[in-house]
Amino acid sequence: MRARVFVTLKPSVFDPQGKVIADALHSLGYGGVGDVRQGKYFELDLAATEAAQARALAAEVADKLLANPVIESYRIEID
Amino acid sequence: MKFAIIVFPGSNCDHDAHHAAQDVLGQQAECIWHKDTSLNGADVVILPGGFAHGDYLRTGAMARFSPIMSAVREFAGRGGPVVGICNGFQVLLEAGLLPGAMLRNVSLKYQCEFVHVRVDQVDTPFTCGATAGQVLRIPIGHGEGNYFAPPDLLRSIEANRQVVLRYADAAGRVSDDSNPNGSVNGIAAVCNEQRNVVGMMPHPERACESILGGGTDGLVILQSVVKWVTAGAHPAEKLALHAS
C-alpha cells in the first residue's frame, strides 16, 4: 500500500518561505491568493496490506522522524 | 581536563573546536565518531557546527539517532556539561535535550556575520566566566537559526531563566535591528532546566585567536567550562559556589 504524508508548519508558526511565495504571487497579479503555507510531502511504499496497519505505520514514522512536533503537524492519506 | 568533540558525517566545525580546545586552551581533546558509543572519559562534550547527516530532512533530525547520542544523553543526564554549537544546537533540539525548534531565518538567507550577544545567565558551565549583561562579539553562520518555542513553552523557558544569550547591539540592547534571524525574544542560546546542557547559534571556537582578526570573545565561553570543570565540585554545588 502507499501512504502519503503531508507535513506542514502548525498554523501558529510563521512560515517565512510561504510568505515570500505569497508576496511573489501577489506581485504577479494573483490578488485572489491569500496566505500561502509551504510544507513537505512524502510518499511511502509500505508492505502492509491493510489500510489501518499502513496508517499506523505511517503515523509512527511521521512521529519518529518525518515531522517535528514542536513546529509541525501532519496528515496521512492511504491508498 | 578533556574535551570530546562529536563528529557526525557532515560536521565541519569539528577541527576548529578541537583546535580551540587543544591548541588555544591547552586542554586534552578527542574527536569521537558518531558511531562510537563511549565518550572515553571526557569532562565536556561539544556537538560542533556543520550539516550532520546532510540536514536533508530537517537540521539535526537524523543525528539524534546516531549511536554516540546515547552516551551524550547519559552524560548530560548526570550533569555533565554539553554544548551544541550551531548545527550542534539544532541536534540537541531535535534530540529533545533542549526545548524549542529551529525555523528558517526570516531573511531566508544564510547569515554569515559577526553579531553581538548579551550574556543573560552566568550560572551555566559555558557562561560562568562571564559577567551578567556582558556583550560578546562572536560570528554566526547559519540558514536555520530562527529559534522558536510555542507561547507556553516560551513563558516557561523565560521563567526558568533558560535563555543564556540574546542577540543585542554593542551596548547590549535587544531589538529587532540586532536580531539576525528572527529568533523569538532575540534568543541566541538556551540551556536545559538543569542548566548543564547549552545550545548556541554563535560560534565561540571561531573567535578565540586575535590573529584571525575577529577578537577573542569566544574564549569567554570556552574558558568558562574549563573553570567549571577544574573547580571539581558536583554541578549542584557549583551552582551554589557561583551564586555565592
Q: What pLDDT does B235 receive?
A: 54
Contact list, B58 vs chain A (CB under 8 Å): 68
Q: How far is CA B198 from the centre of its chain?
A: 5
- For residue B205, the tally of other CB atoms under 10 A from its CB is 29
How far is B189 from chain A, CA to nearest CA, in Å? 17
From first to last of the 79 residues of chain A, give the pLDDT tens digit. 999 999 999 999 999 999 999 999 999 999 999 999 999 999 999 999 999 999 999 999 999 999 999 999 999 999 9
Q: What is the pTM of this model?
A: 0.93
Q: Residue B239 — very low, low, confident or very high, per pLDDT cuts 50/70/90?
A: low
Task: Find the domain containing A11 and state its range.
Answer: 2-78
Structural domain of B41: 2-243
* Residue carrying the nine cell digits 501532519: A74
Nearest CA to CA, how far is B90 from chain A (Å)? 12
pLDDT in tens, B80-106: 999 999 999 999 999 999 999 999 999
For residue B97, how many other CB atoms are within 10 A of its CB?
A: 20
Number of domains within chain B: 1
Whether A16 sits inside 8 A of B146 (CB atoms) is: yes
The whole-angstrom separation of Cα B72 and Cα B217 is 27
pLDDT at B234 (0 to 100)? 54
Residue B32 is predicted with a pLDDT of 98
CB contact under 8 A, B104 and A12: no
Report yes or no: B228 and B239 within 8 Å, Cβ to Cβ: no
The CATH number assigned to the domain holding A24 equals 3.30.1280.10
Chain A to chain B Cβ contacts (< 8 Å): 37
Give the residue numbers of B marked as catalytic: 86, 203, 205
Cross-chain Cβ contact B103/A70 below 8 Å: no
Query: Mutation test of the interface with chain A: which of B56, B58, B94, choosing the one with the most A Cβ atoms within 10 A?
Result: B58
Provide the shortest C-alpha distance from residue A28 to chain B (in Å): 20
- Chain A interface residues (partner B, CB cutoff 8 A): 9, 12-14, 16-17, 20, 65-66, 68, 70-71
Q: Is the pLDDT of residue B112 over 50?
A: yes
pLDDT confidence of B129, banded at 50, 70, 90?
A: very high
Q: How many helices (H) and strands (E) does chain B have?
A: 6, 11
> Chain A contact for B100, CB < 8 A?
yes
Residue type, B223: Q
Determine the residue of chain B that is closest to A12 in CA distance.
B150
Q: How many structural domains are present in chain A?
A: 1
Closest CA to B93 of B189, B16, B181, B184: B189
Contact A70, A2 (CB under 8 A): no
Q: What is the CATH number of the domain that holds B126?
A: 3.40.50.880
Q: Do B225 and B108 touch, CB atoms closer than 8 A?
A: no
